[in-house]
Structure 1
Amino acid sequence: MKHFFLKSFLLFVFIFSGSSHAQDISVETATDTLFFDDFSQSSLDREKWNVVGTDFWVNNEQQIYVDSTATVFTVKGDDAQGAESALMLKAHYSPDYITYRGNDFDFISGRINTRDKVMFTYGTASARMKLPAGSGFWPAFWALGGGDWPDTGEIDIMEYVGETDWIGVALHGPEYSGETPLVNKYFFPEGEDVTDWHVYSVDWTKDGIYFKVDGRLIYRVTKPMVEHYGEWAFDNPKYLILNLALGGAYPYKTNGVEKPYNGLPESTVQLIKEGKAEVLIDWVLIRN
């Protein structure tokens, strides 16, 4: 059973030394815990999570999301790759799976969210994750407001496009969406990369937003910084999203690949066919 203590969460968030690694940090919950899931059940808890289906497509991504145990499922033991249990989002090569909005999709993958199940305003949202190597993989851990985008804001807690030495964080809102100026890259220390277990988190307050990896502060955005570009869109409830996208706008901007798929090179297509397009999530936690 995973460590689940009703006491201070400070060990996880703040105690980190050069000899420690993310996989050595226990998750500890406190009385202000709003949400916690360690994916220890035999399947995804539908009381906590929604699963996105084939009626959703954005950003020229090369996959279509499906609500299936092939793309969203829990694992234990060796399949959890160092965790006791975990959620797996997995992409598959599935030629001509569906035509949607005039596009033929050859890949399926998984996306989940807590919309209308768990919404929160301010607090700390964290997830312990293990990501796959491969140019054009586009997994993310993020939060959206419940209204129109970008008016109700977006917090990108972790975004990865296939370069294993870094992840990105960002804010989007009115007048600073899309190519937002409020963005930063975090480059891992030597000997670490995204294929290791890491804790990605954000501390969200009424005056600022603080992004962290393994307890290290990697980017700080204050309310005045945001209001230099547009309206502060971070006083409203938000929900969490976890997804594994393939190719599309952001990977293409990074790798410039046009064929065989936009933002998705043949080498990564082969990884998908070999069953290596996997994102593992050990746990997700929200504290007020």
Structure 2
Amino acid sequence: MKPLVLKYSALLFTLCVAAGTGPALAQPATKPAKGKIIFFDDFNSRKLNRSKWNVQITGMHVNDELQAYVDTPSTAYIVQGAAAEGATNGALVLRPQLAPNFKTQDGQTFNFISGRINTQSKFEFKYGTAEARIKLTDGAGLWPAWWMLGNGNWPACGEIDIMEYIGEKDWASAAVHGPGYSGETPFVNRMYLAAGNDVTHWHTYAVEWTPDALNFKYDGKLMFRVNRKMAEHYGKWAFDNNHFLLLNYALGGAYPVKINGVKSPYYGLPESSVKLIKEGKAKMLVDWVRVTQN
């Protein structure tokens, strides 16, 4: 990611915690990662499995983002059948909403609420492959993400952004943040998708994490690699520690505004995307999340 300030992963104070439209395009099968499955959720129940996931509530705010994170079934919920838009057994939906003058626990005011979940203290791991099958809505300034964090102070704890979408539907990006290579990180890369198979269709976004490298793969294709020697040119390798999983849906802020230049009606979020949010069309669907380990 390319924020100008501390990334939104700094949410929980001193800890590093801080929809698609149209029919699904036929996808070539992405072979599952080899090894033992140590975490799996295909969102096949009526409600989010709280034994696996925490729902975060906004505390600290960063990046000039426009949303407050709340714990409500209107912003993070499970759908099945046609509403799952091609997901096999059901899908998680993260959906931002318009909420004028919403007051947070720390006394700030926002006009949008949204969802963010993580597995901190419930599932954490070191080395393996983390992957998720995801479908997104196209809209400038929408900022859904699939990523991982370590515990401790950011960025020393390490951050692995497996998939971020900023509002141009022909690409998604991966990034790595650590001490000396955070914020405006040198380690960020885009994968441009074929016409007719953009982010509004289902894709599998994955990272293979070894002691010495992070290999990012979209639909099984290697799109970016960051290794230990590359990182140590800037600072300490921050990926020898346990990490937990995160899925969230941010809106606007420092990164999107650098892509779209929008300042009104909201910072990084144009009226066209506000309309999508009002109509309940802006969302991220997650078919499944899986972590395997050799």
Q: Is 2:76 the counterpart of 1:72?
A: yes
- Paired position in structure 2 for 1:115: 120
Equivalences for residues 220-239 of structure 1 within 5 A = 220-239=225-244
Equivalences for residues 138-149 of structure 1 within 5 A = 138-149=143-154
The one of 38, 41, 58 equivalent to 2:42 is 38
Structure 1 unaligned blocks of 5 or more:
1-20
Equivalences for residues 261-272 of structure 1 within 5 A = 261-272=266-277
Deviation at 1:104, TM superposition (A): 2.0
Q: Is 2:133 the counterpart of 1:106?
A: no
Deviation at 1:205, TM superposition (A): 0.3
Tell me if the contact between 1:56 and 1:65 (Cα under 8 Å) persists in the aligned partners. Answer: no
Q: Is 2:279 the counterpart of 1:274?
A: yes
- Paired position in structure 2 for 1:188: 193
Distance 1:287 1:138 in 2: 27
Three-state SS of the structure 1 residue aligned to 2:125 is: coil
Three-state SS of the structure 1 residue aligned to 2:259 is: helix
Deviation at 1:56, TM superposition (A): 4.4
Equivalences for residues 61-210 of structure 1 within 5 A = 61-84=65-88, 85-99=90-104, 103-210=108-215
Three-state SS of the structure 2 residue aligned to 1:126 is: strand
Deviation at 1:22, TM superposition (A): 7.0
Superposed CA offset, 1:6-28 (max 9, x none): xxxxxxxxxxxxxxx77452775
Aligned pair in 2 of structure 1 residues 180, 234: CA closer, same or farther (>3 Å)? same
- Compute the RMSD of aligned alpha carbons: 1.6
Residues 89-98 or 278-287, more deviating: 89-98
In the alignment, residue 263 of structure 1 is paired with which amino acid?
Answer: G
**For this pair of structures, how many residues does the alignment match?**
268
Structure 2 unaligned blocks of 5 or more:
1-24
Normalising by structure 1, what TM-score? Answer: 0.89
Aligned pair in 2 of structure 1 residues 46, 263: CA closer, same or farther (>3 Å)? same
Deviation at 1:58, TM superposition (A): 2.5
Q: Is 2:44 the counterpart of 1:49?
A: no
Distance 2:133 2:199 in 1: 11
Three-state SS of the structure 2 residue aligned to 1:284 is: strand
Three-state SS of the structure 1 residue aligned to 2:234 is: coil
Normalising by structure 2, what TM-score? Answer: 0.87
- Paired position in structure 2 for 1:3: none
Distance 1:263 1:242 in 2: 20
- Paired position in structure 1 for 2:15: none
Superposed CA offset, 1:9-64 (max 9, x none): xxxxxxxxxxxx77452775866111000000110000000001133432211010
